[in-house]
């Protein structure tokens, strides 16, 4: 397969530098991923950008040159045409659960519940939770800071009021004599 550097870069950027099947990034993989023909060339697929996917070597190896032999054969999920959420649900333990026949076939064919991917999903979930908690922590810290500023302003105002009350008290006491 000869894909120009410009097309390869376009496919990488369109995929946001992650495997379009499993979500592993170039950073996680330690290098660039592969370009795959969703519909293999030997089954009539072309080099047009709409048929090219960015995927990790494992997903590419598990997919091989699969293409349904007939309309009765199972279809593989095409991440360029439908979102992951249309075919899978991510469970709390990081595994994917299929919700369509296409999802079930793809899950089995690409082995999308490989232990490393499950660990990766759990780690991503934990990172997202940590980021959410950090935002909440920052919000609470900002609110506490605002509260201290307001409290300081109120204490200054209270100090001025007490000073006025002392003056008034002194004036009242002096007028009684």
Closest Cα to residue 35, out of 65, 55, 13, 19?
55
Predicted local confidence at residue 80, as pLDDT: 94
Per the domain annotation, does 14 fall within a domain?
Answer: yes
Q: Is 76 inside a domain boundary?
A: yes
pLDDT at 176 over 80: no
Q: Using the predicted structure, report yes or no on whether residue 1 has a pLDDT greater than 90.
A: no
Q: Do the domain assignments include residue 153?
A: no
pTM beyond cutoff 0.75 = yes
Q: How many CB atoms lie within 10 A of CB 95?
A: 17
The token pair that represents 141 in the structure block: 């810290």
In a domain, 83, yes or no: yes
Q: How many domains does the chain have?
A: 1
For residue 69, give both structure tokens: 């032999």
Bridge-based pairing of strands 52-55 and 88-90 is unpaired
Range of the domain at 76: 5-113
- Residue 148 pLDDT: 95
Question: In angstroms, rounded to a whole number, what is the distance separating the alpha carbons of residues 140 and 48?
Answer: 51
């Amino acid at each position: 397969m000869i894909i120009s550097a410009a097309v390869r870069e376009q496919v990488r950027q369109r995929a946001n530098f992650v495997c379009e099947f499993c979500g592993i990034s170039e950073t996680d993989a330690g290098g660039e991923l592969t370009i795959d023909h969703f519909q293999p060339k030997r089954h009539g697929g072309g080099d047009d950008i709409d048929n090219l996917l960015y995927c990790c070597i494992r997903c590419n190896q598990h997919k091989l040159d699969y293409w349904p032999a007939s309309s009765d054969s199972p279809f593989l999920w095409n991440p360029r045409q439908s979102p992951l959420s249309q075919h899978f649900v991510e469970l709390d333990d990081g595994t994917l659960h299929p919700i369509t026949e296409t999802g079930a076939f793809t899950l089995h064919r690409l082995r999308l519940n490989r232990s490393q991917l499950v660990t990766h999903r759990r780690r991503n979930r934990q990172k997202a939770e940590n980021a959410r908690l950090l935002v909440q922590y920052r919000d609470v810290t900002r609110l506490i800071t605002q509260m201290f500023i307001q409290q300081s302003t109120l204490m200054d105002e209270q100090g001025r009021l007490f000073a006025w009350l002392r003056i008034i008290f002194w004036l009242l006491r002096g007028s009684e004599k």
